[in-house]
Homo-oligomer: A and B are copies of this chain.
Amino acid sequence: MMHHSFELILANIGRHISLTAEESSYFTQLLRPGHYARRELLLMEGAVCTDFTFIVSGCMKSYLLDQQQKEHILTFAAPDWWIADINSFITGNPGNLFIQAISETHTLALSRRNQEILLREIPKFERCFRILTERAFAASLQRNIDAMSLSALERFEKFRLQYPYLLSLLSDQEIASYIGVTPSFFSRMLKKHHLK
C-alpha cells in the first residue's frame, strides 16, 4: 500500500518537475499518510488547515455550511488530486470549510511547515506548486464561469464528462449541490431528460 501511494504522488509531481531518487525520497519522508472512513472529517470549519492533502484512493469534498446549515460543495478531490482550505492554509487563520471523506480514503498530507522545509531544500518544488496552484485556480474560476453561463443541464453534462469516476460515489444531493441546484430540481431534470 505504502509503496503504491508514493508511486501516484511521485507521478503527479513528475508531470511538472524531474526529481532524482534522493530528492524523491526526501520528499516522501515529509508526507504523513492518513486514512479516513466514509463520512469522516479531515477538517472542520473554524480549524486551521495545516495540510495540503493528496488523495491516493477514495474521494473527498470541501464544503461550506451556510447560516441555514445548508451544504454548499466547493470542490471534489478524486485520486491524484490535492485538497485544502487554501485560505486557511496560506494565512494560518481558522478556515470556513469542512473537508470530508465521501468514501474510504487514503491520503498523503504535506504540512505547511514541511512544505516550507521542502521548498527551502529543493527549490524546484516552487515550480511544481506554482503549476498545481495555477491549475486549481483555473478550474475554480471555470466553475464560476460555468455557473454564470451554462444551464444546470449543461453543467451536469460537463460534470459527468469531467468526473466520471465520481458519479457512482456521490449522492444526487451532492451532485445537485455542486452544480448549484436544489435536489428536487435536479431530480426533475434527470427524469425529464432520461438521465442516470
Contacts and interface: CB of A to CB of B under 8 A. Distances in A.
Interface of A: 64, 66-67, 72, 74, 86-87, 90-91, 96-97, 119, 123-124, 126-127, 129-130, 133-138, 140-142, 144-145, 148-149
Given A90-B138, A91-B138, A123-B123, 13 more contacts: A72-B148, A74-B144, A86-B138, A86-B141, A90-B134, A119-B127, A123-B126, A126-B126, A127-B130, A133-B137, A136-B137, A137-B140, A144-B144
A141 B87 contact: yes
A158 to B, nearest CB: 13
A123 B126 CA distance: 9
A140 B138 contact: no
Contacts of A124: 123, 126
B64 A135 contact: no
Of A90, A129, A137, most buried by chain B (CB within 10 Å of CB) is A137
A47 to B, nearest CB: 15
Contacts of A123: 123-124, 126-127
List the 9 closest A-B pairs by CB distance, nearest first: A130-B130, A126-B126, A137-B137, A72-B148, A87-B138, A133-B133, A126-B127, A86-B138, A66-B149
A144 B131 CA distance: 22
A149 B67 contact: yes
Contacts of A72: 148-149
